[in-house]
A and B are shown apart, each in its own frame.
Chain A
Amino acid sequence: MTTSRRNFLRLTGGAAIAAGLAACGTSGPQSSGGSTGGTNGGGGGGGATYWFLTGQPQQAIREAQVKRFNDANSGSQLKTTEFQNDAFKQKIKTAIGAGQAPTLIWGWGGGGLKSYVDANQVEDLTSWFGENAELKNGIFPSAFGAASVGGKIYAMPVETTTPIVLYWNKKVFEKVGAEPPKSWGDIMDLVPKFNEQNIAPFSLGGQSRWTNMMWLEFLYDRIGGPEVFQAIYDGQPDAWNDPSSIKALTEVQNLVKANGFIKGFSSITADSNADQALLYTGKAAMMLHGAWTYGGMKADGGDFVTGGHLGYMNFPPVDGGKGDPSNTVGNPGQYLSISSKASDAEKETAKKFLANNTLDEASVEEWVKSGNIPVVKSAKDKLSSVSDANDKAWLEFVYDTSANAKTFSQSWDQALSPAAAETLLDNIAKLFQLSVTPQQFASNMNAVIGK
């Protein structure tokens, strides 16, 4: 046997690469639509390119939008490429960095958008929105915050608004004889009540880290108001050391210490929807999560949603806190930007698509039908057509929460720069592990403020 170490290394190396590829997911990007040729980036004539995410029901709605556009504009076609979530995040960044961006850049706004703006990669849409005032006025004003950098608008808010919501399981509350919490004090009082019955007070998919972050977003808002995070976002030195900030961090650790979260929460991921399962199976009584989980619980939870056992509310106030209880946090919308590297004809096509097909009546209707609230005021009119009573009540709740929020703060990890967001998520995981104190957390975060 004459086998060399080199060959073995190559062998194992190959296996590792294969495993890595396998980890990249099942389906690669799928191209479709459009007229002729045209590469990813350039594209000729009046055609434009648009990359977006797979996953239902969003995917079908996006495909229908493009089809309507292409049917109506035979001269300027839109060519789409679809990606899975994580693949998209990588690909779009690489493509923009290489000057091969699609004409329409789909994204989450905030810090990611700011990095595109800083690199001069996206069009300033401020004057275009000035010319299309009607379009602009129809969209929730709260959705524009994450689309703006330095007072200028660089993206159009599209698709849906998804605030973070406090869910609860009505069956479990009945069993224990408890009332839904009206304040932070109530929450802390409910914790031992549920623990005595061997029911976890809160479900949490802590391994995903951003799930823990939702707690801090609300506690910061309810205790100190949106100004506390605004100061952090604006890069004011030492902003994490604000007394409200320290109080919020302390409160969340108190909840961890009181066993407020399900045992083993730091090994549960949100991607697998195990946290939702804990709520609808009654292993946990409550869950703080995005509005996007409603559909999942309806699909997987048996009669949990359809039988009316799901309760939900906005996060309750904290006694003595400064924040307006109508405020909410989460994703005010999704965003479409136009690549500054695209040709004039491509930009024209993209703008036509933005104006006519992203938030048109057909789209609004489809979003509502799929159980979502699109980021336009006209969504309200469509709610009456929803036949299912549970869905209708839910959609009205989401609409009111989004439309009535004094402030709709964008999720922190989207609002901050990628570098600061990574440090934040890292420290939040440690905060929930009780391996850093609130003071250490604040000083770790102050070190990356404004970066």
Chain B
Amino acid sequence: MTAVVPPGARAVVRSPATGAGRSGPVAWMVLPALVMFVVFGVVPLVGVLVLSFTQWDGLGAITPAGVSNWRVALQDPGLYHALWVTFEIMILSWLVQTPMSLLLGVFLAGRQRYRAFLAVLFFIPLLLSSAAIAITYKALLDPNFGLGPGLHLSLLTQDWLGKSNLAIAVIIFIVSWQFIPFHSLIYQGGVRQIPVSMYEAAAIDGAGRVRQFFSITVPQLKYTIITSSTLMVVGSLTFFDLIFVLTAGGPGDSTRVLALLMYQQGFQANQMGLASVIAVVIVVLGLLLALLLRRLGGSTTASQMEGM
């Protein structure tokens, strides 16, 4: 694995500053992408920021409201609760997913044919839409008509989605079930990039499989871990469909994450200004977390492999 930022992205940043003339054709070749980014990325982002300083019920006129939305939102314990739930789900699902995807990825990196077959099987959950997954699990976990009562298994007959802690656990389980295959795939790719010569050298030095795993595989996968973690962490900020269908934020507000709070304020309570504040919070949080993870990995533009 080499540079994490592709050459194209670099050109986007540099060419307007250095002048299009000198960069030649490269500069205008990125123009379509740049236009798309501005129209669909920057403009809505600015729009949301502007909306967060207005009062709008989605119907009537948009009236300026100063910082009142921000004051209301920041004084609302509901926002901090949603923030807490978001972090809880983010951290717990990272803790569950990372070790399992890493181990699975390492396992799948072997060359036997059956592993390729398994890799395809493992990948299936990711192909299903979150809404479909949520509906299926909801039916399976139903305390009266689900899997537990159907098979007369009292252990499975719990009020899975009706108790706060159980509901969070179920969400983390389903998220892991859905996304571990994807991250395993990333790790599988990462592991296959590690030169076999390193393992051969270690074996000559008498290192066992466990020692090889911790001394070669894990350090060599540093950037893969950071990439995968960034996707998990930033991605978990946008968990919405699964939770919306599965628990609708319930029971009470115990699984109400930021994205769900934003939806409820904006489209159910008709308070677009307040919803925009929450949207800005989500964006800022996502940026901060991504930057933080980048820092943790040191300079990500440096090549990981010597001599390549």
A interface with B by C-beta (< 8 Å): 1-9, 12, 15-16, 18-20, 22-23, 90, 93-94, 96-97, 115-116, 118-121, 206-209, 262-269, 272, 274, 277-278, 283, 417-419, 421-423, 426, 429-430, 433, 435
Contacts and interface: CB of A to CB of B under 8 A. Distances in A.
Given A121-B59, A278-B144, A433-B252, 8 more contacts: A2-B1, A18-B129, A19-B130, A97-B60, A267-B251, A418-B269, A422-B268, A430-B252
Contacts of A90: 267
B231 interface: yes
Contact of A2 (B6, B245, B269): B6
A272 B248 CA distance: 14
Classify the interface of chain A: helix, strand, loop or mixed: helix
Contacts of A97: 58-60
15 contacts: A1-B189, A4-B4, A9-B231, A12-B235, A16-B241, A20-B240, A23-B241, A115-B57, A266-B252, A267-B143, A268-B142, A419-B57, A419-B269, A419-B270, A421-B268
B271 interface: yes
B231 A274 contact: no
Nearest to A208: B248
Contacts of A3: 1, 189
B151 to A, nearest CB: 17
B133 to A, nearest CB: 9
Contacts of B2: 2
Contacts of A94: 58
A3 B189 CA distance: 10
A266 B250 contact: yes
Contact of A264 (B3, B58, B144, B248): B144
A6 B271 contact: no
B5 interface: yes
A5 B4 contact: yes
Contact of B252 (A262, A277, A429): A429
A8 B4 CA distance: 11
Interface string B154-170: 00000111100001000
B247 A267 contact: yes
B230 interface: yes
A18 B127 CA distance: 11
Nearest to A111: B270
Contacts of B244: 23
Interface in B127-183: 129-132, 138, 141-145, 159-162, 167, 182
B252 A435 contact: yes
Interface of B is mostly: loop
A147 to B, nearest CB: 18
A9 B287 CA distance: 13
A12 B161 contact: no
Nearest to B239: A16
Q: Which 10 A-B pairs have the closest CB atoms?
A: A267-B161, A264-B143, A422-B269, A119-B60, A23-B131, A267-B162, A264-B159, A418-B270, A22-B129, A266-B251
B58 A207 contact: no
Given A1-B193, A19-B241, A96-B59, A418 B268 contact: yes
Contacts of B58: 93-94, 97
Contacts of B267: 90
Q: What's the interface size class on B, roughly?
A: 35 or more
B68 interface: no
Nearest to B131: A23
A266 B4 contact: no
Nearest to A425: B268
Contacts, number: 152
A272 B244 CA distance: 15
Contact of A274 (B144, B235, B248): B144
A423 B241 contact: no
B88 interface: no
B234 interface: yes
Interface string B111-137: 000000000000000100111100000
B227 interface: yes
Given A23-B241, A264-B143, A277-B145, A6 B159 contact: no
A414 B115 CA distance: 56
A266 B268 contact: no
Interface in B241-273: 241, 244-245, 247-248, 250-253, 264-265, 267-271
Contacts of A12: 182, 231, 235
A264 B162 contact: yes
A207 B161 contact: yes
A207 B247 contact: yes
Contacts of A430: 252-253
Contact of A6 (B6, B60, B129, B138): B6
B212 interface: no
Given A23-B245, A267-B247, A283 B144 contact: yes
B132 A22 contact: yes
Contacts of B160: 267
A357 to B, nearest CB: 28
Interface string B22-33: 000000000000
A115 B138 CA distance: 35
Contacts of A119: 57, 59-61
B131 A207 contact: no
B250 A267 contact: yes
A429 B250 CA distance: 8
B224 to A, nearest CB: 10
Contact of B231 (A8, A118, A418): A8
Contacts of A1: 1, 189, 192-193
B9 interface: yes
B238 interface: yes
A267 B137 CA distance: 12
A225 B248 CA distance: 32
B1, B241, B251: which has the most chain A beta carbons within 10 Å? Answer: B251
A8 B252 contact: no
A267 B159 contact: yes
A289 to B, nearest CB: 16
Given A262-B144, A264-B159, A433-B252, A22 B1 contact: no
B226 to A, nearest CB: 9
